[in-house]
Structure 1
Amino acid sequence: MAFSSGSTGGPMANINVTPLVDVMLVLLIIFMMTAPMMSYPIDIDLPQRSLNPPQNLKDPPPPISLRIDASGQVYWNNSPTPISALRNMMETEVQRDVNNQPTLEIDVNEDADYGLLAKVLASAKNAQMQKIGFVKK
């Protein structure tokens, strides 16, 4: 505790914060050093370099436009489609040519239900679709 030499005559009730700041800086350095070790890896399938490129390249098929509006209605190429029929439609598109799949372009209204989007993405994954993109208009 520090003592006052002023006119008040009583002891000063201020705390010495220097040791507290030192401890906080040491903790900050410890957390900065351990934070990168606490991250989790994410598996990503990146394209690999090929020494022998494919000889017979085909034009990609036209993309599939899948739109989900705010009311939860799903549109497959601008035609209303029930959510239960999406997986069969996606599997049909994949089986036409497994190596040259169309791109699934998903346009979701910002007020749409997230659960519906999750079902659409699960259907696409189960149908083995490889080219999925999101469209922002």
Structure 2
Amino acid sequence: MKRRPQADVELTPLIDVLFILIIFFVLTASFVQGQIPVDLPDGRGNPPEEQGITVTISHDGTIYWDDTPVEKDDLIIMAKEAIAAGRSLILTADRSIPYGDVATLLDRMRENGITTIGLGLKGTEP
């Protein structure tokens, strides 16, 4: 009678894989840093009662003060007066306007001492 060779399970490769997994989990666990548990509010609060003055650059490059077309020089004067009166300014621009035009207007306002102007984005209703 002929004996069949008995199949043995090699444990050495399994132990190697096990040690690699243990090392991996130990190293990744040390990278996890503790965080301070803070319950932050969502961004859907009540809008401020006074939105401020909206300066808009339309698709054709026309600048509007709320809904009135103005020239750049008049805009600077009006913006200085509004800031002095405690009003806020929000600059919105049409999507098709090159960013360079918006940056140029912001630079010109900053050169004239107007440093507190917000940028308006398309909002979503809560």
Shorter-chain TM-score tier:
0.3 to 0.5
TM-score by length of structure 2 reads: 0.48
TM-score by length of structure 1 reads: 0.45
Structure label with greater radius of gyration: 2
